[in-house]
A and B are shown apart, each in its own frame.
Chain A
Amino acid sequence: MTAVTAVPPRRRPGNRQALRLLVLVVIVAVVLYPLLWMLGTSVKSQAEIVNNVGLLPERFTPGNYLDGWTNFDIGFGRFFLNSALVSLLTVVGNGLSCLLAAYALGRLRFRLRKVWFTVMIGTLLLPGHVLIVPQYILFRSLGLVGGDWPYLPLLIPHFLATEAFFVFLMVQFMRGIPRELDEAAKIDGASPYGVFRHIILPLSRPALVTTAIFSFIWTWNDFFRQLVFLSNLEDYTVPVALTLFIDSTSQSAVGPMFAMSVLSLLPVFLFFLAFQRMLVEGINTSGLKG
């Protein structure tokens, strides 16, 4: 053999890196294929949907979007507005109520604080499905299901800080705000309300933004609660409306169904593009710190 073998028998890092990159590219292709396929199918004609299952349409057929938009008695615009309303109000509710609770649990000293903190941690793992039946009964007995304010059953829990995950996230975040600031403000005569208003609230902005983004995305994608609590077509949100396509089993609706599916994911995708770094790093790793 040649002199090259004098080098210790180790693959060259360059080759290794290339192999690694190749594997990653293949995985990316597998991961992205369903999304691209969805996009492609949404602009295929009915005939093509059956015959051509490839990524690209032979003939670009944007008409599916129009057909889907007007497929039901009520246009999809209404469903999008409904989803936006529910999601945005959930953002407000979660941000507000979870910040208040987190300030109390993470920063103030009062009786039973430790007990409440433990209870809050306990509710972190409580599956929402367990409470759906009694919550439905309670909201219904209050006349709040399918009435003039159809979204109250979806929103009220979020204005009462029941999403323990965000409370926990904010408590963790507040641990990073130096306590000296509170102390200094107190010496200057600030009350706990003043400390909240002038120190905690402004400094918690990053945690609030993370909470807002995830509240929006999770509510926008949520299906179970919306399915249970929304009973009138005009109150339907996008995910519930999408299932109407499945009910109408006729094959002809596949194109419009895909078109509306694409549109329904668009806000989440835009959030992803805008806040990619924050989404990836923010919430997922926050549970590990502290």
Chain B
Amino acid sequence: MALTTAPGPTPRTGPVGPRPTRRGAGRTRLGEGLAGYVFLSPWLIGLMGITAVPMLLSLWLSFTDYDILTPLSEVRWVGLANYERMFTADPSYWHAVRVTLTFALVAVPLKLAAALGVALLLNRTWRGVGLFRGLFYLPSLLGGSVALAIVWVNMFNRDGAFNSFLALFGIEGLPWVADPDWALETLMVLAIWQFGAPMVIFLAGLKQVPTELYEAAAVDGAGAWRRFRAVTLPMLSPVIFFNLVLETIHGFQGFTAAFVLSNGTGGPVDSTLMYTLKLYIAGFTDLEMGYASAMAWVFLLAIALITAVFFSTGRFWVHYSDGEDA
């Protein structure tokens, strides 16, 4: 759509000269080039000052023993010591990696499955669908807050609401948030509870699936499951891909709920020590900012790698139909 309106110079007067220039077009182009940079300048300053320079600074810091207390000029270069310590001498680092991977590997697929399931339930328009959609979306707006993390921790306490629900069935619950085997699971449930945002995206995707495809499949005798497998899933695969990338990256960065549950320690027994929390503790509690910078860089590379893996495997299972309207 944007392409069709691209204003090429239309040679109305036949093949004359190199280009049918309008009066002052050269000057306009120059003016536009300058204007482009004028309008872009806040973003450019931000890119340099807020993103690029800090990134380079953090790369340099990751080879130093910088803590916030000594001035930058007296920082000692320690080579790869931070990375060495991280990979070989700090068991809690690997623990944080494991916690984060577990969290993402379990919570993200379940969250997307819930989102897709509910989206399929809602996909037939009838009265009230907007209300349901809105209610399901609400947790996505509220769920990342400190307030909700506080509620969650109290709900999964020994005498919280969840255990009294279990008691209805005669099951005696555990102090879930205080149990190293279960604390992370309560955070996963909190993440899954926020299935509304990907659900809305799935719903938008489902609307784009042409009904003729279903009709054709039904005529060919495909049952409901077969139609889901052969029509819905492939047609929805770009949206699934989009949600998967977004939610995975989002999942790796979970911080607030883990911080609230453990009061900033990653406990009980490091069971909720998400990567970002580990990074925060290293940088702002222990003031080992060089070490924290090394962690940040490994985190960045890991996320870049995972995104690259997604995109390179995507072409094997993501189906883009050509006739897609923009």
Does B164 reach chain A (CB closer than 8 Å)? Answer: yes
Q: Are B36 and A104 in contact (CB under 8 A)?
A: yes
The contact string, 1 if C-beta is below 8 Å from chain B, for chain A 238-249, is: 111011011100
Contact of A285 among B36, B200, B280 (CB under 8 A): B200
User: Of the 9-residue stretches B11-19, B51-59, B85-93, B313-321, which lies at the interface with chain A?
Assistant: B51-59
* A80 contact set on B, CB distance < 8 A: none
Residue of A nearest to B28 (CB): A186
Q: Are B164 and A53 in contact (CB under 8 A)?
A: yes
Q: Are A24 and B255 in contact (CB under 8 A)?
A: no
The contact string, 1 if C-beta is below 8 Å from chain B, for chain A 122-139, is: 010111111111111110
Q: Are B292 and A239 in contact (CB under 8 A)?
A: no
Does B147 reach chain A (CB closer than 8 Å)? Answer: yes
User: Of the 9-residue stretches A1-9, A56-64, A84-92, A273-281, which lies at the interface with chain B?
Assistant: A273-281
The contact string, 1 if C-beta is below 8 Å from chain A, for chain B 46-86, is: 11011101110110010000101000100000000000000
* B5 contact set on A, CB distance < 8 A: 178-180
* A34 contact set on B, CB distance < 8 A: 148, 151-152, 155, 193
User: In the assembled complex, how far is the CB of residue A151 from the closest CB belonging to chain B, in whole angstroms?
Assistant: 15
- B230-283 contacts to A (CB < 8 Å): 239, 242, 249, 252-253, 255-256, 259-260, 263-264, 276, 279-280, 283
User: In the assembled complex, how far is the CB of residue A146 from the closest CB belonging to chain B, in whole angstroms?
Assistant: 12
Residue of A nearest to B199 (CB): A284
Assess A179 versus B255: contact at CB under 8 Å? Given A28-B132, A123-B47.
Answer: no
Cα of A216 to Cα of B180 in the assembled complex, Å: 36
Does A81 reach chain B (CB closer than 8 Å)? Answer: no
Residue of A nearest to B150 (CB): A261
User: Of the 9-residue stretches B103-111, B209-217, B296-304, which lies at the interface with chain A?
Assistant: B296-304
Residue of B nearest to A237 (CB): B146
Q: Are A101 and B42 in contact (CB under 8 A)?
A: yes
Q: Are B164 and A54 in contact (CB under 8 A)?
A: yes
Q: Are A108 and B39 in contact (CB under 8 A)?
A: yes
Does A105 reach chain B (CB closer than 8 Å)? Answer: yes
* A186 contact set on B, CB distance < 8 A: 28
Does A116 reach chain B (CB closer than 8 Å)? Answer: yes
Cα of A273 to Cα of B201 in the assembled complex, Å: 20
The contact string, 1 if C-beta is below 8 Å from chain B, for chain A 79-123, is: 000000000000000000100110111001111010010011001
Residue of B nearest to A141 (CB): B72
Q: Are A130 and B68 in contact (CB under 8 A)?
A: no
* A279 contact set on B, CB distance < 8 A: 137, 141
Residue of B nearest to A189 (CB): B24
Cα of A254 to Cα of B2 in the assembled complex, Å: 55
Cα of A186 to Cα of B29 in the assembled complex, Å: 11
The contact string, 1 if C-beta is below 8 Å from chain A, for chain B 163-203, is: 11000000000000000000000000000010001001100
Sort chain B's interface into a size bin: 35 or more
User: In the assembled complex, how far is the CB of residue A48 from the closest CB belonging to chain B, in whole angstroms?
Assistant: 12
* A265 contact set on B, CB distance < 8 A: 142, 145, 147-148
Cα of A289 to Cα of B252 in the assembled complex, Å: 26
Contact of A284 among B37, B134, B204 (CB under 8 A): B204
Contact of B43 among A31, A100, A239, A272 (CB under 8 A): A100
User: In the assembled complex, how far is the CB of residue A30 from the closest CB belonging to chain B, in whole angstroms?
Assistant: 8
Q: Are A134 and B40 in contact (CB under 8 A)?
A: no
Q: Are B46 and A160 in contact (CB under 8 A)?
A: yes
Cα of A224 to Cα of B32 in the assembled complex, Å: 40
Residue of A nearest to B62 (CB): A133
The contact string, 1 if C-beta is below 8 Å from chain A, for chain B 122-158, is: 1010100010111111110110111110111011000
* A125 contact set on B, CB distance < 8 A: 249, 303, 307
Q: Are A126 and B1 in contact (CB under 8 A)?
A: no
- B2-40 contacts to A (CB < 8 Å): 2, 5-7, 28-29, 31-40
Q: Are B36 and A160 in contact (CB under 8 A)?
A: no
Q: Are A264 and B147 in contact (CB under 8 A)?
A: yes
The contact string, 1 if C-beta is below 8 Å from chain B, for chain A 175-196, is: 1101110010010000111001
Q: Which among B51, B118, B280, B299 has the highest number of chain A CB atoms within 10 Å?
A: B51
User: In the assembled complex, how far is the CB of residue B60 from the closest CB belonging to chain A, in whole angstroms?
Assistant: 9
Assess A28 versus B135: contact at CB under 8 Å? Given A138-B53, A261-B151.
Answer: yes
17 CB contacts below 8 A, A to B, read: A32-B138, A35-B142, A97-B46, A100-B43, A130-B55, A130-B296, A131-B54, A133-B58, A135-B50, A179-B2, A191-B35, A192-B31, A221-B145, A284-B201, A287-B242, A289-B326, A290-B326
Query: Which residues does A use to contact B, with CB under 8 Å?
Result: 17, 20, 23-24, 27-28, 31-35, 37-38, 41, 50, 53-54, 97, 100-101, 103-105, 108-111, 113, 116, 119-120, 123, 125-138, 140-141, 156-157, 159-162, 167, 175-176, 178-180, 183, 186, 191-193, 196, 217, 221, 223-224, 227-228, 238-240, 242-243, 245-247, 254, 257-258, 260-262, 264-265, 268-269, 271-272, 276-277, 279-281, 284-285, 287-290
Nearest 9 A-B pairs (CB), nearest first?
A160-B46, A110-B36, A261-B147, A134-B54, A192-B35, A101-B43, A104-B39, A161-B43, A104-B40
Query: Which residues does B use to contact A, with CB under 8 Å?
Result: 1-2, 5-7, 28-29, 31-40, 42-47, 49-51, 53-55, 57-58, 61, 66, 68, 72, 118, 121-122, 124, 126, 130, 132-139, 141-142, 144-148, 150-152, 154-155, 159-161, 163-164, 193, 197, 200-201, 204-205, 239, 242, 249, 252-253, 255-256, 259-260, 263-264, 276, 279-280, 283-284, 289, 292-293, 296-297, 299-300, 303, 307, 326
